[in-house]
Amino acid sequence: MPLFTIETAYSLPAYRHCIYEADTIDQACRLAVEDDDWSDQKLDYETAGETYVSGIWRGKGAPYEAPALAIPSQFGETLRRKADHFETLLGILKVLAHVPDLSAPKLPFWVPRAQSAIAKAEAILAGAPDPQGANPL
């Protein structure tokens, strides 16, 4: 039976409380985001993110020495899965939104891709594996 070395991770929020003098909320937020001094940060173990697979290699003890294998989407971080799929959904939506005629010749090409993208988006939201053939583009 083959062996795999799996690297898992989780996100651990770091936070800080700082005071900024500003004329508006937008300006205060911009100052906070641009402030790179995290010397007084605290780690929030109470709201750690989900565990996800961040790397996989064939064999025993081979991380970073052997080529990494592709991680099946459902084992990735949910937030990253959503972000990665957003571009696909937006691209298909833009194509379909600009179809001037619902009987346009390219529509039969794009409708199945839209259906596949929707199925994958629903799987992501459900925390489920990608459906078979859910590679819309």
Q: What is the mean pLDDT of residues 61-89?
A: 88
Q: At what angle do helices 107-126 and 78-97 cross, to 10 degrees?
A: 160
Would you list the domain boundaries of the chain? 4-58, 76-126
- Please give the C-alpha separations between residue 51 and each of 11, 73, 134, in angstroms, as whole numbers: 8, 14, 23
Name the 3-class secondary structure at 46: helix
Residue 136 above 80 pLDDT? no
Higher-confidence residue: 59 or 17? 17
The pLDDT score that the predictor gives to residue 16 is 96
Residue 117, classified by CB atoms within 10 Å of its CB into exposed (0-12), middle (13-18) or buried (19+), is: buried
Q: What is the mean pLDDT of residues 73-98?
A: 88
Per-residue pLDDT tens digits for 91-112: 888 888 777 776 666 778 888 8
Q: Is the pTM of this model over 0.85?
A: no
